[in-house]
């Protein structure tokens, strides 16, 4: 009997060793890359919501930090480090109640309004067009303006375009000069409304398609400033919206169409969405399953777009994405302030890998939002500032900006929870202008490391270096007392064997490898 038990134990041990030794093979094709990963996939979003603009980017005299006018420069410096390519403003839902003339001219004379979408607070309009454009100048980033279709007029939008972009003699150019800006800003990216299916007017797709064409007609190109007009697109899996827009709007009137999708831990809009910091593995698994839904959404919306636009001239613009949890206890529920954990970093890495791998159609995306709101890159508390785990993922992934996409093929091992399973690993790869190859990998499994063997076709390299974002627990966070708990660290788990790349990918980690 003892001998039989011993044999059983040996068999179980052999199975465990086999499981540990199981290797996933990745194939990266660098022979003839076709598509470029647009830098604009790495865009961001700043809405007049909670403490994103006011008390985030734009602070008063009582906040003793370096500033230009009232723009907080430590926030600017942090965002410059990750090369943010564009910034979407003024919303969001706020865009369709924003009247731009209220935000120009002497600040003391600007009318106040109630921000009915976000907390019912008073908006003093001290941060308007000129202040936003100064912020973009400091950030060295491109502005992406969301125009008011919901409560605005065609003339109002047309005049705002003229105010931004007209040179020479015109009434709006004269008004801009009167307010201190002689030269046009030449803004390129222009959203025609926001969430027109919801807070932007509760419209049907057929009605909005006609309205879009009217507004877009009068949003004119000015000398040296051709507009890239972006239509308000679908809410998540509303494929009919995309179908109607692609069918009814001429390609030459629409540079892009948006898609909005948020990862909800519980999947529930009406009740609790789940805490940003207090969750068990079951809720973590459900969150990651919902995050991976982005792959299906991009695939299915792209397939509809392909029916009408096989040349892929119209961009899919995912200009609102990220995790949306319950607000932090004790904060204004209309301010959408939430902490940011390692779980959120894994969501960021996974989503950006999806966008990179669909760069033939996804040309722009915007994380919601930049400072103090939803899946923020930066949190502030008076003079204190911290960089979130999500920020560090964007720091790792900036190597993909404007690089050639290299297809990655593999079958991921499963991460299982009860009777459900999701892919444990996701990845993307690119080659930059210097010839360096970069691979970004995410292991969603919080329990198991992954052993990878990578074959590289058409990639010349002699060595590999790496960086990693990880922590001991998936709900670990950076705090104002300990702002460096989660940060970018050197990664030494990759090695060269012949022309193969072997990787030991730790549990719950985001890794970036550079091959030169």
Q: Is 142 a catalytic residue?
A: no
Residue ranges in the chain whose pLDDT is less than 70? 1-21
One domain, residues 367 and 481: no
Instruction: List residues bridging with 387 in a β-sheet.
Output: 378
Q: Does residue 13 lie in a domain region?
A: no
Q: From CA 364, how far away is CA 86, in angstroms rounded?
A: 9
Q: Does residue 202 lie in a domain region?
A: yes
Write out the two tokens for 446: 């919080």
- CATH number for position 421: 2.60.40.1180
CB 458 within 8 A of CB 404: no
Q: Does residue 57 lie in a domain region?
A: yes
Decide which of 371, 402, 433 is a domain's last residue: 402
Q: Quick one: pLDDT at residue 22?
A: 85
One domain, residues 258 and 326: yes
Q: From CA 343, how far away is CA 360, in angstroms rounded?
A: 28
CA-based radius of gyration for the chain? 24
- Strands 414-417 and 43-45, how do they pair? unpaired
Q: From CA 294, how far away is CA 263, in angstroms rounded?
A: 9
One domain, residues 143 and 238: yes
Q: Does residue 77 lie in a domain region?
A: yes
CB 113 within 8 A of CB 122: yes
Domain carrying residue 172? 39-402
Q: Which residues contact 74 (CB under 8 A, 6 or more apart)?
A: 65, 66, 385
One domain, residues 411 and 398: no
b/e 306-317 (16+ beta carbons within 10 angstroms → b): eeebeeeebbbb
One domain, residues 53 and 133: yes
Decide which of 352, 382, 402 is a domain's last residue: 402
Q: Quick one: pLDDT at residue 21?
A: 52
Q: Does residue 12 lie in a domain region?
A: no
Angle, alpha carbons 84-88-92 (nearest 5°)? 140
Smallest Cα–Cα separation from 145: which of 316, 314, 322, 319? Answer: 319
Q: Quick one: pLDDT at residue 8?
A: 41
Q: Quick one: pLDDT at residue 34?
A: 93
One domain, residues 193 and 219: yes
- The phi, psi pair for 243, rounded to 5°, reads -60, -50
Q: How many CB atoms sit inside 10 A of residue 232's CB?
A: 31
Q: Does residue 174 lie in a domain region?
A: yes
Q: How many CB atoms sit inside 10 A of residue 183's CB?
A: 9
One domain, residues 83 and 161: yes
What digits encode the pLDDT tens for the residues 107-130?
Answer: 999 999 999 999 999 999 999 999
Smallest Cα–Cα separation from 149: which of 251, 247, 219, 225? Answer: 219
Q: How many CB atoms sit inside 10 A of residue 5's CB?
A: 9
Q: Is 195 a catalytic residue?
A: yes
- Return the beta strands (E) in 172-294 as ranges: 189-192, 228-235, 256-263
3-state secondary structure of 323: strand
One domain, residues 493 and 463: yes
Q: Does residue 8 lie in a domain region?
A: no
Q: How many CB atoms sit inside 10 A of residue 402's CB?
A: 15
One domain, residues 212 and 159: yes
Q: From CA 376, how far away is CA 290, in angstroms rounded?
A: 19
Q: From CA 75, how far away is CA 81, in angstroms rounded?
A: 10
One domain, residues 303 and 259: yes
Q: Which of 320, 420, 481, 514 is catalytic?
A: 320
What digits encode the pLDDT tens for the residues 444-467?
Answer: 999 999 999 999 999 999 999 999
Smallest Cα–Cα separation from 240: which of 197, 192, 283, 202? Answer: 197
CB 440 within 8 A of CB 353: yes
Q: Which residues contact 402 (CB under 8 A, 6 or more apart)?
A: 36, 37, 38, 39, 432, 433
One domain, residues 448 and 307: no
**By CB neighbour count within 10 A (0-12 exposed, 13-18 middle, 19+ buried), where does 394 fall?**
buried
Q: Which of 97, 123, 131, 195 is catalytic?
A: 195
Q: Does residue 210 lie in a domain region?
A: yes
One domain, residues 48 and 180: yes
Q: From CA 303, how far away is CA 316, in angstroms rounded?
A: 11
Decide which of 402, 436, 468 is a domain's last residue: 402
Instruction: State the total domains in the chain.
Output: 2
Q: Quick one: pLDDT at residue 499?
A: 86
Q: Half-sphere exposure (CA, 13 Å, Cβ side) for 281?
A: 11
């Amino acid at each position: 009997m003892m001998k039989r038990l011993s044999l059983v134990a040996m068999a179980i041990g052999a199975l465990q060793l086999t499981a540990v030794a199981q290797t996933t093979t990745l194939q990266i094709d660098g022979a003839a890359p076709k598509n470029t990963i647009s830098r604009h996939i790495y865009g961001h979003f700043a809405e007049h919501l909670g403490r994103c603009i006011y008390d985030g980017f734009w602070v008063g005299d009582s906040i003793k930090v370096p500033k230009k006018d009232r723009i907080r420069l430590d926030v600017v410096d942090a965002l410059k480090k990750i090369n943010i390519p564009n910034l979407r403003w003024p919303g969001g839902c706020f865009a369709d109640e924003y009247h731009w003339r209220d935000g120009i001219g002497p600040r003391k004379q600007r009318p106040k309004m109630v921000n009915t979408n976000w907390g019912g607070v008073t908006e003093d309009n001290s941060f308007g067009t000129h202040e936003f454009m100064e912020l973009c100048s400091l950030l060295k980033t491109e502005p992406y303006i969301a125009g008011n279709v919901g409560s605005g007029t065609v003339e109002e939008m047309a005049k705002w375009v003229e105010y931004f972009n007209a040179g020479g003699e015109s009434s709006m150019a004269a008004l801009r000069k009167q307010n201190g800006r002689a030269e046009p800003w030449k803004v390129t990216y222009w959203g025609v409304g926001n969430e027109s299916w919801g807070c932007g007017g509760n419209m049907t797709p057929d009605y909005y398609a006609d309205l879009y064409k009217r507004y877009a007609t009068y949003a004119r190109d000015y000398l040296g400033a051709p507009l890239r007009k972006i239509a308000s697109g679908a809410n998540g899996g509303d494929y009919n919206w995309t179908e109607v827009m692609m069918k009814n709007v001429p390609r030459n009137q629409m540079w892009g169409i948006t898609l909005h999708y948020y990862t909800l831990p519980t999947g529930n809009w009406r009740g609790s969405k789940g805490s940003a910091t207090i969750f068990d593995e079951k809720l973590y698994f459900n969150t990651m399953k919902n995050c991976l839904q982005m792959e299906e959404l991009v695939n299915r919306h792209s397939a509809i777009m392909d029916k009408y636009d096989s040349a892929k001239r119209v961009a899919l613009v995912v200009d609102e994405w990220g995790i949306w949890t319950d607000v932090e206890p004790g904060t204004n529920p209309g301010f959408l302030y939430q902490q940011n954990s390692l779980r959120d970093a894994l969501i960021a890495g996974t989503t950006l890998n999806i966008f990179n791998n669909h760069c033939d159609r996804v040309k722009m995306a915007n994380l919601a939002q930049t400072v103090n709101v939803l899946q923020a890159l930066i949190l502030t508390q008076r003079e204190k500032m911290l960089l979130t785990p999500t920020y560090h993922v964007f720091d790792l992934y900036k190597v993909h900006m404007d690089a050639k996409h290299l297809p990655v093929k593999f079958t991921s091992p499963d991460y299982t929870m009860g009777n459900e399973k999701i892919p444990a690993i996701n990845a993307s790869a690119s080659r930059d202008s210097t010839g360096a190859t970069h691979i970004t990998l995410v292991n969603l499994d919080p329990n198991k490391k992954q052993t990878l063997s990578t074959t590289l076709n058409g990639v010349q390299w002699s060595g590999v270096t790496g960086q990693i974002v990880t922590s001991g627990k998936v709900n670990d966070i950076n705090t104002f007392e300990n702002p460096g708990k989660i940060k970018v660290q050197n990664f030494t788990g990759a090695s060269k064997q012949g022309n193969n790349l072997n990787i030991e990918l730790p549990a719950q980690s985001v890794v970036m490898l550079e091959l030169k």
